[in-house]
Amino acid sequence: KKCFRVARANPDAAPCVEGDARMMVGDSCFMVFAQLQTWASARAQCQSIGADLAWADNAGDDQVIRDLRLSLAADPLDTWLGGTDVVTEMEWLWVHSGLPLTFENWRIGEPNNGGMSGNPEHCMIQELGDHLWDDRPCEWTYWFACRR
């Protein structure tokens, strides 16, 4: 397990000790788990430690998640994030708050709800390789990132 510490955290904040890789950024603890889970199972695991699936308010947050994934593998697996449009198609919200995304890092042509595949895609991943976002079927299994 690898641990990085980036900024002084609030001394009253919960310690950042979970995950296969983790990093404190201000008062936020970012964690990546190299375990294959569905989106719902990943969210339940995050919630069990007082967190939720990770969100990125800006490019720096997105980079933290990318760096944690790369600390675990040179070619990390796709990783669930906390974005979803399951309530209203193409209205992407962060599940922890129910608020719309204020920062986006979608791959060109995404989100596309599965395009021609016919598989509805309502859950967000950060992809391997280019680390851009894509929408995928929530029942598929990937690594996952949590934040609290």
pLDDT band (50, 70, 90) for residue 8? very low
With 70 as the cut, is the pLDDT of residue 140 above it?
Answer: yes
Is 42 within 8 Å of 135 (Cβ atoms)? no
pLDDT tens sequence across 72-97: 998 889 999 999 999 999 999 999 99
pLDDT band (50, 70, 90) for residue 30? very high
Residue with tokens 């603890």: 29
With 80 as the cut, is the pLDDT of residue 9 above it?
Answer: no
pLDDT tens sequence across 96-138: 999 999 999 999 999 998 877 778 999 999 998 889 999 999 9
d(CA 71, CA 76): 9
Q: What is the pLDDT of residue 116?
A: 74
Q: What is the pLDDT of residue 117?
A: 75
d(CA 41, CA 139): 9
| Average model confidence (pLDDT) across the chain | 91
Q: What is the pLDDT of residue 85?
A: 97
Q: What is the pLDDT of residue 12?
A: 54
Q: Taking residues 21-37, what's their average pLDDT? A: 97
Paired strand residues for 6 = none
